[in-house]
Amino acid sequence: MNRLYEQVKVDCALLPQELASTNATGKYFNMAGYREALAVVNIGNITAAGSVALQIMEAQDERATAAQALAGYLATVLANIKVQALTVTCVGGVATDTLVITVGGVAYTFVGAGAQDLAAQEWIATGDDEADATSIVACINYALAGKVFAENSAGVITLTAEDGYYIEAIAETGAFTTFATTAAVAYVFLEGLALSAGFTFIAVKVTTAGNTGICSATLYRGKHVKSIIQRVGDSYPA
């Protein structure tokens, strides 16, 4: 049985770079001999109302002759929706303020109160951002253990989805927080036959809206008619 790295060709489709309200297209790769491909974008930051779109481009050669978007092969990530990690900055929380986190199809509501009650998902609202964040973290880690991990640094909460989950949505009442996505992933899959006639090369295009941070993309090509040889800086096993 072939090892995974002998079945799938792995390439850097887009170098890590800062993209804010702009786009970038990586180099073109030959699909000749491959029957399918998977493009994956890794996103380092999306501010509120921002987005990142991953698009497959096709061309007739490696120099992007007649390059065009492959219609329909597009995936878009919106800020704070279906993301891997995000931050919640606390500012002046008061009693009755709420933070709602949706994970695994369930919306968990954390309510500001006069005292902390983990089982009731109530955090102590003191008006002190550090204390409020510490209490919110305790409530989240109690209610969402194994699904989302929370930690606090000077009133800024970082939420990280555990393996097998993502943060589907986050909302508030009371306007006591600011959200910012810090990690997200999207992918586009295609079969070689989807390419237009005369087009055998593909590239990844990433387009951002808003103050988006570092983005990079990886291309996986598979089901080649011959054995696959990786071209990398180093590997294990050698």
Give the CA-trace dihedral at 225, 229, 230, 236, to 10 degrees: 130
pLDDT of residue 1: 64
Separation in Å, CA 174 to CA 87, 91, 136, 151, 181: 17, 10, 15, 22, 20
Task: Tell me: pLDDT of 88 over 70.
Answer: yes
Q: List pLDDT tens digits, range 121-178.
A: 999 999 899 999 999 999 999 999 999 999 999 999 999 999 999 999 999 998 899 9
Q: How high does pLDDT run on average in the chain? A: 95
Sign of the torsion formed by the C-alpha atoms of 221, 60, 186 and 11: positive
C-alpha–C-alpha distance, residues 175 and 140, integer Å: 19
pLDDT band, residue 238 (cuts 50/70/90): confident
- β 23-25/201-209 pair status: antiparallel
Amino acid of residue 228: I
CB–CB of 142/183 below 8 Å?
Answer: no
Q: List pLDDT tens digits, range 24-81.
A: 999 999 999 999 999 999 999 998 889 999 999 999 999 999 999 999 999 999 999 9
Task: Tell me: pLDDT of 15 over 80.
Answer: yes
pLDDT of residue 2: 77
Q: What percentage of the chain has pLDDT greater than the value 70?
A: 100
Sign of the torsion formed by the C-alpha atoms of 150, 153, 154 and 158: negative
pLDDT band, residue 213 (cuts 50/70/90): confident
Domain ranges of the chain: 4-73+197-222, 92-175
CB–CB of 228/7 below 8 Å?
Answer: yes
Secondary structure in 3-state letters for 8-58? EEEEEEEEEEECCCCEEECCCEECCCCCEEEEEEEECCEECCCEEEEEEEE
Terminal CA-to-CA distance of the chain, rounded, Å?
18
Q: Indicate the fold that domain 4-73+197-222 takes in CATH.
A: Jelly Rolls (2.60.120)
Secondary structure in 3-state letters for 104-115? CCEEEEEEEECC
∠ Cα 134 140 143 (to 5°):
140
